[in-house]
Amino acid sequence: MSVVAVLKGGRSLERQVSLQSGARVEDALERLGHDVVGIDVDHDLVRRLREIAPDVAFVALHGRDGEDGTVQELLEVVGIRYTGSGVSGCVRASDKVLAKHEMRDAQIPTPDSLSFNETAFKELGAADALDAVEQRLGFPIVIKPADQGSALGIKFAASAADVPAALVAAFSYSAKVLLERYVHGHDLAVSILDGVALPVVEAVPVDGLRYDFAARYTIGGTRFECPAELPDEVTARAQELALATHDVLGCRGFSRVDLMRDHETGELWVLEANAIPGLTDTSLLPQAADAAGIGFDELVGRILALAD
């Protein structure tokens, strides 16, 4: 059995989720018989890694630093094998703008979008181009911080009047924002494990609530169905797109790809990929794995075995 350092917490806005993921992973690794050391990632990360000299690092970090390639780069430098995507996969998946370009270039359907950094508005007069942006995308528009992993800072603009405040909010989290055409429909999540797409998870509104943007981000507003009750060809297509996205972005080992299914046309659109999806007891990857007959301990064991 090996010595495994579980990297968790950190300073990102998703610290809490990461601590939960990390705690659960630690328990699973212990049950699998490994020697486990939890590290709440902080200023002394490199020093502690050298001290502990683990055989492998299980990266259970979410958001900035942990999911964007920073910690992965450090692990490479220190010479410790680690779970999940490498530096390049993390960089591409965590930057929503870069990911969109990669997907578009690979002909993976993704909703039309534009992106701006804060200096475009401060120094280049981008505000004057907003009407053209709005015309191209059409309302409603979803405005997202470019490098924020969770739902934080994601805003919905129903009309032009909502755009300024939504942009200011999104810029609170990131120096770059993405404006994306809104797809009316349901969220689908397809997790990838070791080159295989797991059963599709679908977000379903609770108790006949209208499934809209607000419901998606309200605690208790949605529940998740897995496997999703979808026509076989839709499931197959969603899994095919997810796998293609995982590959195009250069993700490794595992990831979760989020899609929307247009409720009128049935078309599938890929929104983004998460290089290190949540591993808490309500997270979607563990649910999907469970639906595929892979229990949490086995999932953790397989992710560990894929470390490079």
Partner 1 sequence: MRSSAMRDLMALTQRPDVISLAGGLPDTTLFPAEDLARHLSVVAAESSARALQYAPTDGLSDVKQAIREVLRAEGDDADPEDVLVTTGGQQVIDLVCKTLVDPGDVVVAEAPTYPGAVPAFAAYEADVVQVAMDADGLRVDELEQTLDALAEEGRSPKFVYTIPNFQNPAGVTLSLPRRRRLVEVARERELLILEDNPYGLLRFEGAPLPTLRSLDGGEFVISLGTFSKILSPGLRLGWAVAPRPVLAKMNIGKAASDLNSSSLTQLFVATFFRDGDWRGYIDKQCALYRARRDVMLEALQEHFPPGATWTRPEGGLFLWVTLPDGLDTTDLLAKALSRNVAFVPGRAAYLDGRGGTSLRLNFSGVGEDDIREGVRRIGVVVGEQIELLARLTGRRPATPGGSAHPASPAADPALADVLELPRRPADPGHPRRGSSSP
Question: How many residues make up the chain in this entry?
Answer: 308
User: How many Å is the Cα radius of gyration of the chain?
Assistant: 19
Interaction of residue 78 with partner 1, rule CB under 8 A: no
Q: Is 182 a catalytic site residue?
A: no
Closest CA to 42 of 66, 17, 14, 69: 66
Structure-block tokens of residue 227: 């496997």
Residue closer to partner 1 (CB basis): 153 or 185: 153
- The helix/strand/coil state of 70 is helix
- The helix/strand/coil state of 270 is strand
Residue closer to partner 1 (CB basis): 156 or 224: 156
Interaction of residue 181 with partner 1, rule CB under 8 A: no
How far apart CA 25 and CA 60 sit, in angstroms, is 8
Q: Is 117 a catalytic site residue?
A: no
Least Å from the CB of residue 171 to partner 1: 6
Residue 100: alpha-carbon gap to chain centroid? 13
Binding to partner 1 (CB under 8 A) within 11-40 occurs at 11, 13-17
Fill in the amino acid letter for 75. L
Q: Is 102 a catalytic site residue?
A: no
Which of 1, 46, 106, 168 forms a contact with partner 1 (CB under 8 A)? 168
How far apart CA 292 and CA 284 sit, in angstroms, is 12
- Kindly indicate which of the ranges 99-107, 151-159, 177-185, 238-246 contains the residues binding partner 1, using the contact rule CB under 8 A: 151-159
**Helix, strand, coil abundance in the chain, percent, nearest 5:** 40, 25, 35
Which of 3, 23, 52, 152 forms a contact with partner 1 (CB under 8 A)? 152
- Residue 34's Cβ-count burial label (10 Å; 0-12, 13-18, 19+) is buried
Whole-Å CA distances, 159 to 48, 151, 297: 50, 21, 47
Least Å from the CB of residue 19 to partner 1: 9
Least Å from the CB of residue 130 to partner 1: 7
Residue of 35, 81, 217, 250 with catalytic role: 217
Please give the size of the binding site for partner 1, defined by CB under 8 A: 44
Whole-Å CA distances, 212 to 124, 131, 186, 290: 34, 25, 9, 28
Pattern 115-134, binding to partner 1, x per CB under 8 A? ---x--xx----xx-xx---
Pairing of strands 222-225, 201-205: antiparallel
- Kindly indicate which of the ranges 81-89, 171-179, 242-250, 297-305 contains the residues binding partner 1, using the contact rule CB under 8 A: 171-179
Pattern 216-235, binding to partner 1, x per CB under 8 A? -xxxxx--------------
Q: Is 256 a catalytic site residue?
A: yes
- Block residue for tokens 């942009």: 167
Residue closer to partner 1 (CB basis): 278 or 301: 278
Q: Is 217 a catalytic site residue?
A: yes
Site residues for partner 1 per CB under 8 A: 11, 13-17, 118, 121-122, 127-128, 130-131, 150-156, 158-165, 167-173, 209, 212-214, 217-221
The catalytic site residues sit at 14, 150, 217, 256, 258, 272, 274, 278
